[in-house]
Structure 1
Amino acid sequence: MSLTEAQSDMRQGYYSGATGILASSIAWFVAAGFALLTTPEEAVWSLLIAGVFIFPVGLLICKLIGARGAHTKWNPLGQLAGASTFWLIFCLPIAYFLSVRQPGLFFPAMLLIIGGRYLVFATLYGMKLYWVLGLLLAAAGFVLAPLNASMFVSAFVGALLEAIFAIACFVQHRRWARPNNSRMDSLCK
């Protein structure tokens, strides 16, 4: 299986990852709500707990819109997806322990962590969109941390960026999936 074929399989299986971005955006919106209405500790835990459901919710959305919600078992990019998940999990304790000392830095740290993970998705799906999303999330983390932005603002920025990119990814996937649309296929690469 060539890299292009593996990326195409990932796009077909997971709707180019649009459903995962949407599920992640929902988790960020939940966290923003908690940040606005509850304590900083509860806001932190809301994103950590909601984050556990991002992949299953993304798969559910895949199934609801007719995507497989899986890649083929011989796709070598599946291992890269798994490795990036472990990397994310390994970073969570760092963000959590940072929040114990300075709660306002939790969401900017998570923006950096998740932004970094999306850079891997640029290879998984073969889409430049993930470079832009990853770098924008990381830039938001870098900007919001020294500004001492409120937890609500930081979480809302993450939610809004992911919501915008979820829509863009849904549109890009639909164009890519159309037969004989070489223009969009070249934009996705």
Structure 2
Amino acid sequence: MKPAPFSTTPITIADAQQDMRSAYYSGAPGIMSSALVWFTAGMVALHLSAAQAVWTLLIGGMFIHPAAVVFNKMLGRSGKHNPSNPLGALGMASTFWMIMCLLLAYGVSMMRIEWFFPAVLLIIGGRYLTFSTLYGMRIYWACGAALALAAYPLAVYGASPATGAFAGAGIEAAFAVAVFLMSGRTTRGAAGAAGT
């Protein structure tokens, strides 16, 4: 029997998280899209200027979600959660929180440009902690912690903007692969269980 839609059935948080995992491939395409933006910012810092790298990350960040939706569809996912899913509001709230914090990071870059990328690592790391609830996956605690912990030595030792950007790219790419593999394993397991 097919379950009734969210709007007419009380759902558990586990149901809502499953909907998010199914729609967005557990967030892996979004993490990889973000990693590509960080990598591009690193290349800009290396070959052009730190100021242009800052704008590359800020402007490129606006294309992370649209790119992730495209990647999700290429992987056979919808790239869109059920409109009645209450966790959608958490995703939106964390996005607005991140945007407001990015304004602070930009202000920090006016004082010392080397601090911009560590500041954004802290912001993004904090946002990934909410993804643990959004997707019901503890790996996002590790992802957020890794990004935040990387920020400290980068800021303290005055690492170059390129180093900060490449650090963000590397950490996110590694976690994108890990989440992708975890999601694929879960999907195969669910398909196997359904077939028995």
Residue 70 of structure 2 is matched in structure 1 by 60
Cα distance between partner residues in 2 of 1:143 and 1:11 = 33
Q: List aligned pairs for 1:15-26, cutoff 5 A.
A: 15-26=25-36
Q: Secondary structure at the match of 2:71?
A: helix
Q: Label 1:180 to 1:45 Cα distance change in 2 as closer, same or farther (>3 A).
A: closer
Q: Extract structure 1 runs of 4+ deviating beyond 4 A.
A: none
Note the residue ranges of structure 1 that are not aligned, 5 or more in a row: 183-189
Q: List aligned pairs for 1:1-189, cutoff 5 A.
A: 1-180=11-190
Cα distance between partner residues in 1 of 2:103 and 2:82 = 32
Cα distance between partner residues in 1 of 2:73 and 2:129 = 25
Over the matched positions of the two proteins, sequence identity in percent amounts to: 49
Cα distance between partner residues in 1 of 2:44 and 2:112 = 17
Q: TM-score, normalised by structure 2?
A: 0.91
CA RMSD of aligned residues (A): 1.2
Cα distance between partner residues in 2 of 1:140 and 1:111 = 8
Q: Label 1:40 to 1:5 Cα distance change in 2 as closer, same or farther (>3 A).
A: same
- Matched-pair contact (CA < 8 Å) for 1:175–1:181: no
- Matched-pair contact (CA < 8 Å) for 1:11–1:17: yes
Q: Label 1:39 to 1:69 Cα distance change in 2 as closer, same or farther (>3 A).
A: same
The one-character-per-residue Cα deviations of 1:50-75 (angstroms, maximum 9, x if unpaired) are 10100000001001111010110111
Note the residue ranges of structure 2 that are not aligned, 5 or more in a row: 1-10
Q: TM-score, normalised by structure 1?
A: 0.94
Cα distance between partner residues in 2 of 1:144 and 1:179 = 40
1:180 deviates by 4.3
The one-character-per-residue Cα deviations of 1:78-114 (angstroms, maximum 9, x if unpaired) are 0000000000011111000110110000000000000
1:16 deviates by 0.1
Cα distance between partner residues in 1 of 2:101 and 2:137 = 24
1:179 deviates by 3.5
